Amino acid sequence: MTGYSQDVLEDLRQGNDIIEVISQYVQLRQKGGNFMGLCPFHNEKSPSFSVSPQKQLFHCFGCGAGGNVFSFIMKIENFGFVDAMKFLADRINYTMPELSASPSTSTAEKNQMHDIYKQAARFYYDTLQEPVGRQAATYLDGRRIATAVRRKFGLGYSPGRSVLKDFLTDKGHDEKILERAGLVMEGKNGWYDRFRDRLMFPIFDVTGKVTGFGGRIIGDGQPKYLNSPESPIFDKSRTLYGLNYARLAKTNKLILVEGYMDVIALYQQGITNTVAALGTALTANHARILKRYCKEVIILFDEDEAGVRATLRAIPHLYSAGLAVRVATLPDAKDPDEYLSRFGPQSLLAQLDRSLDFVDFQVQTALQKYDLAVTTQRIAFLKEAAEIIGKLDSSIEREAYLRDLSTKYQIDQGAVKEEIDKQQGGEDRFDFVVNVRRPRAAAPSKAHNDAIHHILYSMAANAVLYDKITAHLAPNELAEPLYIKLYNAIAAARQRGREVMPADIITALEDPADQEKAAAAFSNITEYDSTDQQYAALAQQIWLVKMAGYDMEIAAGPDDKRLNELFFAKNQLKNSRILL
């Protein structure tokens, strides 16, 4: 699922003991074979968060959160799977094998570039504190950026000519790699720094590593902002400024602003869920990345024509990524920073609450171009509105917006509908899909689930039990696709002659909800006084699972032939006992 082999995943999992990793976030106490603590994913006063060193799994009996060390890092750091892998690799100094993406740049060179950027960021930061950085510091004073915030964002100053180049070559990096990293350039008179006499904003990736810089000119000059060029470690279309902090904000809304200073100004006022695209238009990649960290994006761009254009360009990407999109405007200020200094953070938050749904924003923007009292203009507006609404994915959305529009602007629903159909080549986009409902199969009962959990746990834990269980129970009798998957994964591991490690089986599940359920399955252990007792319980559980499986299939409404088979099998089972 990531392009990395099972071996790499197992290396990382084995190298990062779950007790050690989780202990960095949660205070754990040993209790029997497990460790318990207060769950970091829900509020609680007595510990229901359990971590198993044997199985390398965690499971919360309170909120159901669970999984292996990857799931834990993904959940607590708000990372995607690959970032969680990288995080765990860093933690144990493990070099991830190179994927084919950029064969020209070795991992070693990328690592060197990360070092270079780290040293450069440190250098710029230190220089800002020196007399030579006075003008840049004065600029920050003027913007009222507090010392702690300057440190948090690593703001710095690049003095220029070739001071950085000299500093880095003294550290043993040659000019060629500094050039490939985008920090120096070669001219007629030799090497010189790309950033000269600029206020420097280090650009962090989501894990907090510096991968590039933005530089703002001090005083007049062009360009006002200069960014690092793309490099083996810097991809602008995938980097969002501020995301390393915003992802930690406990909210599923992110605010998208235009520039570095907006992110910093909002952060300083406690509005930490803010990100910016880097002096480029927002891309589909950016939108997909945002989707990992939130459900809703509020666009808060500058109040000028360029800001409106950028907003209109960003909307389709965010919408296509499946995000809820709203647009906030700030009256009487040209940008968020100015608004904050004039009206304060509470007022800005109120404006965010008042933000417009993206369709409303598009329609209102269109409306400003037309005088609805003039028939031809009214028609042009109607066409534009039809275009906006026609781009929505579902007929339910289109119907809802259409109703809304017609009340707000007194326009004729029928006319817009007709226009949409015309624009879309006559196909009627307003036909609701008729949902043919199948009779719903009964959901598994708690006893049924508990039984499956214990069966799976026993199959994973013990080779003898595995043989006995599989002799009586086929995978498809577990009814739920997830449980069938787990059964098959355990079987595959057993057939390879391996120890079955629940933590590795969970890695193969892509859906976090599945991982939680699987962790719950493997964590649900009942202690038995004797092996006999355990065998008897298992036999009963297998019987229950088979019986419930038949009932569920019968409820799903199979054809007559299958129905007959099921009734027959059910009768047979009713009159028999399973012996292990």
Where in 64-93 is the site for Zn ion (CB under 5 A)?
A: 65
In whole angstroms, how close is the CB of 18 to Zn ion at the nearest point? 16
Task: Give 65 or 226: the residue with its C-beta nearer to Zn ion.
Answer: 65
Stretch binding Zn ion (CB under 5 A), from 54-62, 97-105, 401-409, 519-527: 54-62
Of 184, 212, 185, 216, the C-alpha closest to 200 is 216
SS3 label, residue 59: strand
Stretch binding Zn ion (CB under 5 A), from 60-68, 165-173, 252-260, 492-500: 60-68
Write the CA distances from 320 to 128, 388, 537, integer angstroms.
42, 14, 50
In whole angstroms, how close is the CB of 523 to Zn ion at the nearest point? 12
CA-CA-CA-CA dihedral for 422, 425, 428, 433, to nearest 10: -140
Stretch binding Zn ion (CB under 5 A), from 38-46, 71-79, 215-223, 552-560: 38-46
Task: Give 29 or 496: the residue with its C-beta nearer to Zn ion.
Answer: 29
SS3 label, residue 339: helix
Residue tagged 């070099």 (tokens)? 95
- Indicate which single residue of 60, 199, 275, 300 sits in contact with Zn ion (rule: CB under 5 A): 60
Write the CA distances from 121 to 149, 152, 159, 339, 454, integer angstroms.
15, 12, 13, 30, 53
Tokens of 396: 């339910």
Task: Give 64 or 160: the residue with its C-beta nearer to Zn ion.
Answer: 64
Stretch binding Zn ion (CB under 5 A), from 42-50, 142-150, 374-382, 442-450: 42-50
In whole angstroms, how close is the CB of 72 to Zn ion at the nearest point? 12
Task: Give 406 or 524: the residue with its C-beta nearer to Zn ion.
Answer: 524
Tokens of 473: 């129970």
Stretch binding Zn ion (CB under 5 A), from 63-71, 84-92, 121-129, 465-473: 63-71
State how far the Cα of 561 lies from the Cα of 236, in Å rounded to an integer: 60
42 binds Zn ion (CB under 5 A): yes
Task: Give 65 or 277: the residue with its C-beta nearer to Zn ion.
Answer: 65
- Indicate which single residue of 19, 63, 92, 217 sits in contact with Zn ion (rule: CB under 5 A): 63
Stretch binding Zn ion (CB under 5 A), from 6-14, 35-43, 208-216, 432-440: 35-43
Q: How many residues bind Zn ion (CB under 5 A)?
A: 7
CA-CA-CA-CA dihedral for 378, 380, 384, 389, to nearest 10: 50
State how far the Cα of 359 lies from the Cα of 398, in Å rounded to an integer: 10
Task: Give 160 or 512: the residue with its C-beta nearer to Zn ion.
Answer: 512
In whole angstroms, how close is the CB of 34 to Zn ion at the nearest point? 15
Task: Give 39 or 479: the residue with its C-beta nearer to Zn ion.
Answer: 39
* Length of the chain, in residues: 580
- Indicate which single residue of 9, 39, 51, 490 sits in contact with Zn ion (rule: CB under 5 A): 39
| Cβ-contact 72, 58 below 8 angstroms | yes
Task: Give 40 or 390: the residue with its C-beta nearer to Zn ion.
Answer: 40
| Cβ-contact 294, 254 below 8 angstroms | yes
- Indicate which single residue of 23, 38, 41, 132 sits in contact with Zn ion (rule: CB under 5 A): 41
Task: Give 65 or 455: the residue with its C-beta nearer to Zn ion.
Answer: 65
In whole angstroms, how close is the CB of 78 to Zn ion at the nearest point? 16
In whole angstroms, how close is the CB of 26 to Zn ion at the nearest point? 10
Stretch binding Zn ion (CB under 5 A), from 55-63, 337-345, 413-421, 506-514: 55-63
62 binds Zn ion (CB under 5 A): yes
In whole angstroms, how close is the CB of 76 to Zn ion at the nearest point? 12
Task: Give 19 or 324: the residue with its C-beta nearer to Zn ion.
Answer: 19
Task: Give 39 or 490: the residue with its C-beta nearer to Zn ion.
Answer: 39
Residue tagged 């009206």 (tokens)? 343
* Strands annotated E in 159-295: 184-187, 190-193, 198-204, 210-217, 225-227, 240-241, 253-257, 274-277
Stretch binding Zn ion (CB under 5 A), from 36-44, 143-151, 382-390, 401-409: 36-44
| Cβ-contact 65, 41 below 8 angstroms | yes
Report the 10 Å Cβ neighbour count for 458.
Answer: 21
State how far the Cα of 221 lies from the Cα of 216, in Å rounded to an integer: 10
In whole angstroms, how close is the CB of 29 to Zn ion at the nearest point? 16
| Cβ-contact 184, 223 below 8 angstroms | no
**Phi-psi sector, 210: left (phi>0), alpha (psi -120 to 50), beta:** beta
Task: Give 68 or 458: the residue with its C-beta nearer to Zn ion.
Answer: 68
Beta bridge partners of 216: 199, 225
Of 138, 185, 146, the C-alpha closest to 165 is 185
**x-marked contacts with Zn ion along 157-186 as a string, rule CB under 5 A:** ------------------------------
Strand order in the sheet with 156-158: 156-158, 198-204, 210-217, 225-227
Q: Which residues of this protein are in contact with Zn ion, per CB under 5 A? A: 39, 41-42, 60, 62-63, 65
